Structure 1
Amino acid sequence: MIGLCIHVSIPAVYTPRHVARRSICKNNLKQLGLAMHFYYDDHKMFPSPKGDFGNELPPYSWRIALLPYVEESQLFDRYNFSEEWNGPSNASMNSIQLTLFLCPENPLRTGDHPRTETDYVGIIGDETIFSDGHPTKFHDISDGTSNTLMFGELLNSDIHWMEPRDLDFNAISKRINSGGVGISSDHEGGANVAFVDGMVRFLSEDIEPNVLRALMTKSGGETVDEF
């Protein structure tokens, strides 16, 4: 086993407004994490990043799959699973803004026009809980649910909340707020992430890349110690 240390920190200087926004962001992630557990209770597996396993339907996002568990059953019922997420029928929902998928700290949220992107994304890949090839179950998470990420923030995402697109584990930066594609936010000093055990934490942008990489995997054999 490889022992790693994880920085969980809060920036030293924070205004009340920033504290409130970060709290709302954390609550959004908490609700999504609970929805993942409710989904698991019903289906005995975590959702696929691109639809149900083994069916012939077009890909659809895990965010769609969670709608019934975040009090959005009407939107779920409107979604046409027989067509692409941006197909003719589903296009009728293209302009719907869901605040649950938006971090209030993101400056792009301001303005009169609805923002339909998501600020919360999963990390997808065979080594993560969002494996596209086969469903992830609790017994697959040998690194421990408190050491395995479900999803986190992505600053200035261009991903519509209905779109089945997230962060590819093999392609993203293993640093937070690196300026490249990867976990990022407009919070000072780091970003919020949700773990499989339901906890939401603020990870410092000073976290070591090997530690962040370990947190993204479900069965890498690492142990992660907090300090």
Structure 2
Amino acid sequence: MNCTNNMRSVGLAIKNYHAAFKRYPSPDFGGHSWRIRCLPFVMASPMYSEYRFDERWNSPNNITIDTRPFQSKKIVDENADVPMEVLGIPYPYPCPYSDNAHFASYLMLVGDNAFGKPSGWRKNSELLDDPESTIAVVETTDTTTHWLSPSDLNVATMSFTVNDGPNSISSRHPRGPVVLFCDWAIYRLNPSIDEDTLKAMVTISGGEELSRELLIERGLLLEP
């Protein structure tokens, strides 16, 4: 449930980003990740205002935004004013199975014919395949990609066998990894899905005839 809710937050952030800018966030524009650009659309946090886009993503200032103290403030309990230091917190939605909260559990699919446009912004008009069967963001496990890193899952080099390591769509969940579709629906991907079908679900303008109903009927998509 936690992982499903985390992915739901990812979808809401991307959707709200598009509503604000009329384009989807770039996975790596200017050397900065879509995850930091979407942060204001996920949660109220001092982290985004502390991030410096004129520096590298892993500069001393940026790499510590989720660990260093921020400005102190006071909160009031039932008895008295209690000083409380407001701390940066890890990225708001790591997978519960992740061994490191600073690693990205959810990666965008990136490529010339994938949801994430390399070094640019994807417009809604470019998504020509059925959004109900086109995947935008996926769960991965055992990745060492920091959540601030402008690195995601490149469809030109990824494995299309589910649970084939950190360069694949993968999960420790018994029912398979959670995936986000371009209509913001969330399903679990059956680990036994064949490579050809998965490749068709990754493209945004491949012209493949896929329907969610058929994928569910074949048992390739499972309720989250």
Are 2:142 and 2:166, in contact at CA under 8 Å, matched by a contact in 1?
Answer: no
The aligned amino acid for 2:169 is: I
- Following superposition, the deviation at residue 99 of structure 1 comes to 5.4
- Following superposition, the deviation at residue 101 of structure 1 comes to 2.9
Write out aligned runs for 1:37-56 (5 A).
37-51=15-29
2:160 to 170, 174, 179: 174
1:149 to 116, 135, 142: 135
Q: Distance in 1 between matches of 2:197 and 2:93?
A: 26
TM-score (norm 1): 0.80
Are 1:150 and 1:194, in contact at CA under 8 Å, matched by a contact in 2?
Answer: yes
Q: Alpha-carbon deviations, 1:158-186, whole Å to 9, x = none?
A: 01111111111100011211246211010
Sort the Cα spacing of 1:129 and 1:220 in 2 relative to 1 into closer, same or farther, 3 A.
same
Say if 2:105 is the partner of 1:119: yes
Write out aligned runs for 1:56-75 (5 A).
58-75=30-47
2:187 is matched with 201
Sort the Cα spacing of 1:138 and 1:76 in 2 relative to 1 into closer, same or farther, 3 A.
same
Which structure has more RCO (C-alpha within 8 Å, separation ≥ 6)?
1
1:30 is matched with 8
Sort the Cα spacing of 1:116 and 1:142 in 2 relative to 1 into closer, same or farther, 3 A.
same
What stretches of structure 1 of length at least 5 have no aligned partner?
1-22, 52-57, 110-114
- Following superposition, the deviation at residue 97 of structure 1 comes to 4.8
Are 1:101 and 1:161, in contact at CA under 8 Å, matched by a contact in 2?
Answer: no
- Following superposition, the deviation at residue 150 of structure 1 comes to 1.3
Q: Alpha-carbon deviations, 1:64-117, whole Å to 9, x = none?
A: 0100101144211110000101113213326455353311134x25xxxxx311
Q: Distance in 2 between matches of 1:34 and 1:157?
A: 23
Say if 2:88 is the partner of 1:88: no
What stretches of structure 2 of length at least 5 have no aligned partner?
68-87, 218-224
3-state SS of 2:46 partner: helix
Write out aligned runs for 1:209-224 (5 A).
209-224=195-210
1:163 is matched with 149
TM-score (norm 2): 0.81
Write out aligned runs for 1:98-113 (5 A).
98=90, 100-106=92-98, 108=99
Sort the Cα spacing of 1:173 and 1:97 in 2 relative to 1 into closer, same or farther, 3 A.
farther
The aligned amino acid for 1:157 is: T
Q: Distance in 2 between matches of 1:98 and 1:204?
A: 29
3-state SS of 1:101 partner: coil
- Following superposition, the deviation at residue 195 of structure 1 comes to 0.7
Sort the Cα spacing of 1:63 and 1:134 in 2 relative to 1 into closer, same or farther, 3 A.
closer
3-state SS of 1:35 partner: helix
Q: Distance in 1 between matches of 2:57 and 2:165?
A: 29
Instruction: Quote the RMSD (CA, aligned, Å).
Output: 1.7
Larger Rg belongs to: 2
